Structures are given as structure tokens and as C-alpha cells.
Amino acid sequence: MRFFKQGVDVETKGDGSPVTVADKTAEHEARAWIAARFPGDAVLGEEYGFSGDARQRRWLIDPIDGTKTFVRGVPLWGTMIAVAQDDLVIAGAIYCPAVGEIVSAAVGCGCWWNGARCQVSSVATLADATILVTDARFPYHPHRAANWHALGGQVAVSRTWGDCYGYVQVATGRAELMVDDRLSPWDAASLIPIIREAGGVYTDWRGGSDIDGGDGVASNALLSTPLRDALGVPER
């Protein structure tokens, strides 16, 4: 937050995405916190890659999800962090400090929003649904845009309250669908326990649900099938 709305310089990484001193500092401090408390654990972060023993428990960090949003002074960005043992994501959290919201979840322990138990919505008809996306152009998979826009004509609200904040909306019952056409493991990992423990459904666009899927579809449970049918996403 000490860098937010301060006019930080923006660099461009090799994949074309932006990075700032805020991203780097946040990940550095998170790694230091983990190392001090769990020195045997491995870490995978967006800015500094993998460190530690791959056979050990690992932490996955996205220091600022929504850097493009952050640098424009818009508050809908956050930090994503997860803990995984082997192929199981044990726990995850999303903290959106500029709007004062945090959701966290652990397997079998439910999903919590600012300290209170939360769950996905009970909306059961497309006509009443709110759907969210980070970028409605679907720049990495443009063929998905037609299905998205067709679905937008069937629902109550279609918005781009995206990046990690969109998933916070689904987990807390304020939206029924959030999608991205590109996610890295440090993005997807925290979403799996958060959405599932809130009673929702999380998959990639092929119907799988591991952290390496490359993209993401999160929904409430009651509309999982019709929403995925509309998007062309199989359910496994």
C-alpha cells in the first residue's frame, strides 16, 4: 500500500506483463517472512521464481495480482498466496488491501471473509446472474470471446471487476462467475481451496482443476453446469 497511487515506475517483463517496485518488494518481504518461520519450505513466486527443495511443502505467491490495475490507481488488485503439499493445495488467501477485504480458506475448514464464514451465492437462474472477467477480449484465446458475449446477453450483470478481486466476489456470494483466459500456478493455487471451501466450483477451461491448467473458471454451485455449458467448458 505504501507504493499505491505514488506514481511508481513500470517495467515490462519478458512476457510483456508489467512489474513495479511494489511487486518486487512485496514478494521479497513475503519470502523473508516464510523463510524465518518455515525455513524448510520451498517457494514459487511470480517475480523471483522457484527456490528450495521441490520435495518439500511449497508456498506460491503472486505479490500483486492486477499490476495494470494497481499502476492506474484502481483499488481492485490484491496479493494471492497458497500452501501446497505434493499435489494438494492445503490453504490459500487473497488480500485486497485497498478495499479492505481478505478471503482465506483451508481444506476442511471453510472459507472466511474478513473473519466471518462466507459462501457462494444461491442464485440459480442465468437471468439473475452476475458474471465477471479480467479482459473481455480474451487476448490469449480470442475464440472464447463469442461465447462470453453470448452469455452476457442472458445474465443480469456482465462486468470486468477482474483479476483476483473477481474471485473474491464469487467466494463471497456477490457474483456467480469469474473467468480468466490465462492464469499461472501462483494465481490458480489459492483459488482452488477458496472457491471450493465457499461451496463453489473451480476448474480450468478444459474441466480440470490443478494449478497448472493455465486458465480459470470459478462459479457458484447451482449455476456451474449452465454457465460452463454456455462457455463450452466440460464438467468432469
State pLDDT tens for residues 57-93. Answer: 999 999 999 999 999 999 999 999 999 999 899 999 9
Which backbone phi and psi does 222 adopt, to 5 degrees?
Answer: -65, -25
Is 90 exceeded by the pLDDT of residue 99?
yes
User: How far is the C-alpha of 210 from the C-alpha of 204, rounded, in Å?
Assistant: 8
130-162 tens-digit pLDDT: 999 999 999 999 999 999 999 999 999 999 999
Quick one: cell of 145?
470471446
User: How far is the C-alpha of 39 from the C-alpha of 192, rounded, in Å?
Assistant: 25
pLDDT for residue 58: 97
Categorise residue 44: left if φ over 0, alpha if ψ from -120 to 50, beta otherwise. Answer: beta
Question: Which of 8, 208, 74, 231 shows the shortest CA–CA distance to 138?
Answer: 231
Q: 22 with 71: CB under 8 angstroms? A: no
Confidence tier at 14 by pLDDT (50, 70, 90)? confident
Confidence tier at 191 by pLDDT (50, 70, 90)? very high
